[in-house]
Structures are given as structure tokens and as C-alpha cells.
Structure 1
Amino acid sequence: MTNDLATRNKNLVLQGLAEFAEGSLDGMRALLDENFREHAPGNPAGRDAFIEFTANSPVATAKLDIKRVIADDDYVAVHYHLIPQHDARGAAVIDVWRLVDGLITEHWHVLQPVPDEEQIPNGMF
């Protein structure tokens, strides 16, 4: 049985990430609630501050290689390989987004640099 809310939220997040990966901030602006709450250290809260911060960070020019997406009602978790320019190994990232009425209201993330292959015989992804 599929959960319509989870599916809708998953599709909204994936569409927003795709537009961001193409260099457009319009999708992010339309998807983030004005009073967006950020839980990741060093990232600002509030839609406009978060968009400006993200647009000027290395993630803006990085490749996002999505590995899996898990949706549960209001929450969407995205596990991906973040590959910044000039860093082929990049980082393993899990973003958790909370949506209310079709808008992202909160965000958490966990980021781990990808180590040398010999340190991870089973791979990071």
C-alpha cells in the first residue's frame, strides 16, 4: 500500500533537488517555508538566509549522486554522494526534510567524508 502523502513529499523534494542541481534556486525558493528551520550546525535558518548560504557554498557547484530516498509521511530522507569540484571522493550525506502542506519546514543532515577505498571494503553506498 502506498502512502499518498509520502509519495507527494518525496516527489517534491526530488524535484527541488533536481532544479537545484541544474543551477536554479527558483524551485528551492518555492519549496521552502518562509520560516524554514535548520538543524545542521553552521547553516542559517529562514528561507532567504538558507538559500543565500547554499547558493554561495561548495554544494552549489557539486554533483549530487542520489543513492536512495525514503519517505514517511511528513519526512523525506535522501542519501547521496556529494561530489564537489576538485574532490573526487566527496562525502556521503543524508538529508532529512520535514514537509508541511507541501513546503519544507525543517532540515537535518549528516555528512561523512568518503575515506580511501581500503578503509571501506564494503563501500560507502
Structure 2
Amino acid sequence: MSENDIAERNKEIVLRGFSEFAAGNVETLRGLLREDFIEHSPGNPSGRDAFIEFVASAPVAKARLDLKRVIAEDDHVVMHYHLVPPGEERGLAVVDIWRMVDGLIVEHWDVVQPVPDPGEIPNGMF
């Protein structure tokens, strides 16, 4: 399988998982994350089960997720999306970086930024 084929397969896996998660199915993560999953975000636990338990009670589990773009290269998939928790208007701009091995997510990094007032970003966040 070529690097491009692997990247496309990984992209499809992550997109399916994102779609399921955005629809409210937190348990979809169980089939996506390797048991020894490594998390790089401060305050978020590593390990599949600990991470799923954490995410299930975090605001992201009930937020509206509006995917803007996905980039896949080799064993990495990058997603850029708008996360809007219930009761919030502007929400957050999020970039997730997932590293995949054999069709499972093994590592995660993210960058999260509050979406400012539209007057502060004349070219938009997305």
C-alpha cells in the first residue's frame, strides 16, 4: 500500500469517527483509539479508557462540531473545525492532529482558540 493510500485510508477512518462522535456517539472512540493511546493536550489523560471517560464528560461531547477541512499525510490526519458548546454563540476554532498506526489512533495533539468577535477577524476564522 502506498503512502497516499495509507493517508486516504486514515482520513476515511477519522472522518467516519468524527461523524459518529459529532452525532453524539462517544463510544465510537473505543474502536478508533489504541489502548495505549497518547494524549498531548494539557489536562487530558492518556490511555484509551481514561481518555474516553474524560471526553464523555467534557463540553465537546455535547457540542456542535462543524468540520471545515481535513488534511491527511502519511500516518497523520489533521482536522480543522468549529466547536460550539451548548449555550455558547461563538465557540472555539480547533485543530486536531491524529497519528495513526494500523488503522487506529495512537497519538493526539490539538490547538484550541476562542472565536473572537467578528469585528476582530475581518477575514474570518475558517
1:39 equivalent in structure 2? 40
| Partner secondary structure for residue 53 of structure 2 | helix
1:112 matches 2:118: no
Structure 1 residue runs of 4 or more that deviate by more than 2 Å after TM superposition: none
Correspondences of 1:1-125 after superposition (within 5 Å): 3-125=4-126
Normalization by structure 2: what TM-score? 0.96
Gaps of 5+ in 2: none
Task: Provide, for residues 75-96 of structure 1, a one-character-per-residue CA deviation record: whole Å limited to 9, x for no partner.
Answer: 0000000011111100000000
Q: CA RMSD in A?
A: 1.0
1:112 positional shift: 0.2
Residues 36 and 48 of structure 2 are in contact (CA less than 8 Å); yes or no, is this contact kept in structure 1? Answer: yes
| Partner secondary structure for residue 111 of structure 1 | strand
Identity of matched residues, %: 64
Gaps of 5+ in 1: none
| Partner secondary structure for residue 26 of structure 1 | helix
Residues 100 and 106 of structure 2 are in contact (CA less than 8 Å); yes or no, is this contact kept in structure 1? Answer: yes
| Partner secondary structure for residue 3 of structure 1 | helix
Distance, in Å, in 2 between the alignment partners of 1:57 and 1:103 is 22
